[in-house]
Structure 1
């Protein structure tokens, strides 16, 4: 496919390059919206710098030699959101009942400002009322002490630092549970499982240095323009070196089409731009395994022909023989699978996939970037394994410029796993923790997010301690889960802003306001710093630079230390006060638990560009069952077992984020990249499907999930918008469409909710029921 036909063709919804003036206007707009004064906005100059703070949004890597403005539009929005001049004081809550606040839009709840004081729900008045920190800690400790630890869930969002996460998992395990679900369970758990099986490590293998050495990059299901825009700088540099970028994504996303660097005067003042994708293939939602198989099949076919002709092999035979297991079975599968099936499921032609394969066979070092477009499927783990298969064919792992690159979301979501946040006891160093701290950690498996909510619906969860995030809003089957959440004995929320999870509360509920990572954190020993792991497995220090929003807010490590003290009492063997007063002591213990990665932690945490975690797969050492990198034969070509493929009325819904959003946080109701303004209750659908279903632009529809489990899942009031998306596929916003996602519709093996492939019918158009 020619560049002019694929990468350079603009999105009809947003016919401009990503970045550029549009990005600058968006940053200026959010700073004004949040009333951030000019003096405070200068904090952005410290963002992602070695002597500053790590961005509170995405986890993309921090370079050793940063740009002057080492932040993107999304990161600036997240920073402005925390630096806002708006406050939610106890007086605000005296004026509003929880019932009244439940009627507010999610955007309005968070946009109202920063929380300033600890709060306790009062059932008599239906209000959150001010409570002292000591009272809150004593009461929560007493409540947790009276509960069965196996019925308590300790959830973590991806923002918590390495220090906080380490303290949190120790608290939970000393308390007596491995119920440590986190946001990874809902996004990249498929990577953690699939990569672990394939290469022996559940994370990607590339670093920023690999961008300078690669010959080719693939993108699968990752929208860099809104989810990790700083990565566009590395992509632009690679494109200027002539590195091809091949994209597989159902929607044409501006960030993967063209980029104007806001830091380049030439590009800002002229029509100059960089074409990002040299091939852009709009794979059908759920067709990723088929597409990858098509590329692999073309490579195997070319290699078979080379053998017949006595020519040089196209496969890296030495790598396959020395470092892999399972290749013969996969090769035979490829030879047998039909192009007709591949084309039908992928929604792409054989020619498209062979064009991608031709580029792959010309390259010596290849990186594959991917996101939740691959992981949030019933076959999410298989999708990840297929990417590894493709890399293995030509030895594209464990060498410079090559490897898998799962692009994570939250800024430390990968790191918290590194220091023990996991419900799987086999992944935590329990023996080491037992000897280090003199207690007997629980050895039974804990609950992940899906399992926690399954148990909650069954009345088997008594309490949730919610360390950040907006869990009620982010999970599937929300209309079934909200009543179960309200039956909890206790809900505890550590947060910077009010959100829906605080309003759909347990019978006893607390909101504990914490500092943002951006803010100066002063404890008894002085100003503190924390650390994060980025998406490339590098560890960075982070130091707050802004004045705290409230003198009554506390740091996350402080809050966890006090909760642990008041809950565990004399059972604890840890001097929580010492840890609370000086986080360097926490890092010393992390280094003792994980010496391979964290030796000399305090001395190395300010290394420019971060220091890398230990990862044997980078050196072609495979910690797998076979001791080698393992090929995988797919269970199926990738069709969703819950999707009625032959039913012409069915549609495949994928949920997505907007450019004015980070996870459940909504900065504005607009999505300028997709041409949407002032409304998120929108369905993007192809013009062909509009004709087939008798729809017109602006019609309002009701979608219903296709499921035979006795529950009716509907979302009404969704406005139709024509969009460039494959036939049979539609898209709607997360979390607005979450009620359509059944809790049981998750990836096999990883239990990641299948949010990128939900089978639905249109059951109502403009208020008129439609015969299904």
Structure 2
């Protein structure tokens, strides 16, 4: 384990996103992984037709790629997977699980790639090596002995379409419908809210729409850290004169300016491209009020224009033909009080009017958003308001216009497409019954929050992870660790060690798998896997790197091994044939979803991927009403808790040296915070009110109305440009402060972007 050094250094970063800062960051991280020629070759092919699809974010892969079609975080993710560091059985003989539990996230993964299947030995408190046959046989016997309805099958967003299809089928054949995934953690509000409002649970736009828009509005998404390749698209839009209006509590460097590492002029003279033409620092959850202000201005402008016999401001033809409940939203906006809107949004009326001017002159508007919209108690209302804004001027179903949610994990959207869902209405049960001659579960399974409830109360009897770090990512961390340690069965399919593996229950296995970027040789030869991006495009991915260990199995092979050891024989499910040739799995996916995957094997290497289609993009609305639906919000702020003296809204954040729970290092370059993640970012006025100075240590305490004690201490104060009454801190370390029931009401996404806390100075 690396020597721990938590000395905080804060230095304002003057550079743009990208540029030499990215190059220096890679120069620091890549040598630590001791990468070889395989990693460099993978980066050369990354995100290109017939290349290797990035294991980081889900931004689209262009048909005409750049010379280097990867970003800083994508390169870090590639190096992290193709590291030459190895975590062998000897490592586990040297370190007990109790010891490893105290290691930092970074150090656990930095131990290297797992090389052998392992089983936890409670007598020695260590993981010990076992054979694959022993592991599958023991797992199968244990799963047969418990209630399938009480076993969770969790999937990380990195697993391929092939592995995900096999995994979801295995769960249903077993008798479980508990299939939560990374979407439950982050973006489920999109899946539920967009489905309700437009009939489609995903973006209606494609990447080409960015070439046809004349305005881009952005909410709660950190482009510089979470989807840096998008900056090339934004730069091209700005070059065309597109106005970009950003709403975010923190000023994130990627939304301010970008230096293109592939532009010799910018790299030579230090220039950059301004990205946002307006930047509005809303209060956490204040997007509802900000958008309502724009809607109010637009509705009242339309009222005046029509009263004066002038051309209407809103698209009334579209509204009449394609929508319902517009009048309810228009009346709500007319009656909205500006004092309420400015208080709840944290913006001045003039700032909202500036944004409205861009909206009113736009002919093709794209609405970009991320977890700053979805991860609130009333996240659904924020999303509905965003859709309302688009519908009023017909900005869905035309070139260059529509909602553009930016997904996190590289295939999290695709997993839902091929059956990773706890909702029976989204599962192709009739087709599965016909193809595989069984009765799929028709009951609603457990999502992320419900799975946590059952882990905590002890009714969950088994937890299988296809990748991911569920325990570290979830809220209510203290109770979750206690419940996790009592799970009768844990099965972790993983490439590296993480915190989820270190609170084992009665029986726990670590099953190391091939990474997507590695060569996958099966009976029919080298295999290809596929995934889906944020634009609903499907791509093939070819891994060519040498596997980290000869003992690794692919994810499909591990799923099949567990399935064969657990399930009754079913002649309609050819597990061995599927493992031998993933093309047969793609045939099965096509047979299950013929409307989305026709000619799957023939189309998977189309440049730019093939589009699975989206009815809402053609103004076909598969909603209850048969039309796109306007919705009135339940509150003017999405936080779901009241302002109170001494109460702060905590925004949990990722650094640019991080992807989800994977911590690459301790250099949050854009925010100028180095050396530690144990910090809290505070407005200077709030610091003065609490008589705090930069560097002072504080404890954050839960201020939720459930009166449960939750706290994180030893956090150093950093003076930061964040709205008063709001503070920022890093995820996943501050998940401890999030109550399990503090989630988006309908979608059950943990509300990590506005958590009620108090700040207590330490002596």
Category of TM-score, reference length = shorter chain = over 0.9
1:690 matched to 2:682? The reply is no
Report the counterpart of residue 468 of structure 1 in structure 2: 467
Q: Give the Å deviation of 1:108.
A: 0.2
SS in structure 2 at match of 1:761:
strand
Partners of 1:558 and 1:291 in 2: CA distance: 50
Report the counterpart of residue 3 of structure 1 in structure 2: none
Report the counterpart of residue 41 of structure 1 in structure 2: 40
Q: Give the Å deviation of 1:13.
A: 3.2
- Deviations along 1:563-614, one digit per CA (max 9) or x if unpaired, are 1111103257411000011000000011011111100000000000000112
Q: 1:754 aligns with which of 751, 754, 757?
A: 751
Partners of 2:493 and 2:294 in 1: CA distance: 46
8 A contact 1:487–1:506 mirrored in 2: yes
8 A contact 1:52–1:545 mirrored in 2: no
SS in structure 1 at match of 2:270:
coil
For structure 2, the 5+ residue unaligned runs are 1-9
Q: Give the Å deviation of 1:711.
A: 2.0
Q: Give the Å deviation of 1:91.
A: 1.1
Matches within 5 A, 1:659-678: 659-678=656-675
SS in structure 2 at match of 1:311:
coil
Q: Give the Å deviation of 1:33.
A: 1.0
Q: Give the Å deviation of 1:51.
A: 1.5
Larger mean CA deviation between 33-42 and 618-627 belongs to 33-42
8 A contact 2:42–2:52 mirrored in 1: no
Report the counterpart of residue 512 of structure 2 in structure 1: 513
Report the counterpart of residue 653 of structure 1 in structure 2: 650
Q: Give the Å deviation of 1:710.
A: 4.5
Q: Give the Å deviation of 1:38.
A: 4.8
8 A contact 1:701–1:717 mirrored in 2: yes
SS in structure 2 at match of 1:128:
strand
8 A contact 1:323–1:620 mirrored in 2: yes
Q: 1:680 aligns with which of 663, 677, 680?
A: 677
Report the counterpart of residue 279 of structure 1 in structure 2: 278
SS in structure 2 at match of 1:554:
coil
- Deviations along 1:282-302, one digit per CA (max 9) or x if unpaired, are 000110111111111111111
Partners of 1:424 and 1:702 in 2: CA distance: 40
Partners of 1:302 and 1:341 in 2: CA distance: 20
Matches within 5 A, 1:12-411: 13-38=12-37, 40-411=39-410
Partners of 2:638 and 2:267 in 1: CA distance: 44
Q: Give the Å deviation of 1:95.
A: 1.2
Report the counterpart of residue 8 of structure 1 in structure 2: none
Q: Give the Å deviation of 1:418.
A: 0.4
Partners of 1:222 and 1:261 in 2: CA distance: 20
8 A contact 2:49–2:606 mirrored in 1: yes
8 A contact 1:376–1:755 mirrored in 2: yes
Report the counterpart of residue 544 of structure 1 in structure 2: 543
Partners of 2:277 and 2:303 in 1: CA distance: 28
SS in structure 1 at match of 2:681:
strand
Report the counterpart of residue 722 of structure 1 in structure 2: 719
Q: Give the Å deviation of 1:639.
A: 4.9
- Deviations along 1:280-325, one digit per CA (max 9) or x if unpaired, are 0000011011111111111111111111221111101111010001
- Deviations along 1:670-692, one digit per CA (max 9) or x if unpaired, are 20110111100110111111111
In 2 relative to 1, CA 339–710 (structure 1 residues): closer, same or farther, beyond 3 Å? closer
RMSD over equivalenced CA pairs, Å: 1.1
- Deviations along 1:490-511, one digit per CA (max 9) or x if unpaired, are 1000000000101111210000
Partners of 1:476 and 1:698 in 2: CA distance: 27
Partners of 1:422 and 1:39 in 2: CA distance: 35
SS in structure 2 at match of 1:164:
helix
Partners of 1:70 and 1:639 in 2: CA distance: 36
Report the counterpart of residue 705 of structure 1 in structure 2: 702
Report the counterpart of residue 561 of structure 1 in structure 2: 560
8 A contact 2:382–2:638 mirrored in 1: no
Report the counterpart of residue 615 of structure 2 in structure 1: 616
Partners of 2:618 and 2:166 in 1: CA distance: 31
Q: How many residues align?
A: 754
Q: Give the Å deviation of 1:116.
A: 0.4
8 A contact 1:174–1:572 mirrored in 2: no
Report the counterpart of residue 644 of structure 1 in structure 2: 642
Partners of 1:318 and 1:547 in 2: CA distance: 59
Q: Give the Å deviation of 1:638.
A: 2.0
- Deviations along 1:742-769, one digit per CA (max 9) or x if unpaired, are 0000001001001000011123x133xx
Report the counterpart of residue 476 of structure 2 in structure 1: 477
- Deviations along 1:189-236, one digit per CA (max 9) or x if unpaired, are 000111000100110111111011000001100000000000000000
Partners of 1:259 and 1:703 in 2: CA distance: 34
Partners of 1:287 and 1:40 in 2: CA distance: 43
Matches within 5 A, 1:737-748: 737-748=734-745
Report the counterpart of residue 494 of structure 1 in structure 2: 493
8 A contact 2:178–2:445 mirrored in 1: yes
Partners of 1:558 and 1:439 in 2: CA distance: 22
Partners of 2:208 and 2:584 in 1: CA distance: 32
TM (norm. structure 1) is 0.97
1:601 matched to 2:597? The reply is no
SS in structure 1 at match of 2:217:
strand
- Deviations along 1:102-146, one digit per CA (max 9) or x if unpaired, are 121111000110000000001111110000001100100110011
Partners of 1:192 and 1:564 in 2: CA distance: 29
Larger mean CA deviation between 40-49 and 531-540 belongs to 40-49
1:766 matched to 2:762? The reply is yes
SS in structure 2 at match of 1:596:
coil
8 A contact 1:345–1:639 mirrored in 2: no
Partners of 2:638 and 2:506 in 1: CA distance: 43
8 A contact 1:470–1:500 mirrored in 2: yes
Q: Which runs of 4+ in 1 moved over 6 A?
A: none
Partners of 2:429 and 2:95 in 1: CA distance: 46
8 A contact 1:644–1:759 mirrored in 2: no
Q: Give the Å deviation of 1:648.
A: 2.5
- Deviations along 1:81-118, one digit per CA (max 9) or x if unpaired, are 01111000111111111111112111100011000000
SS in structure 2 at match of 1:570:
coil
Q: Give the Å deviation of 1:28.
A: 2.1
Report the counterpart of residue 5 of structure 1 in structure 2: none
Q: Give the Å deviation of 1:709.
A: 2.6
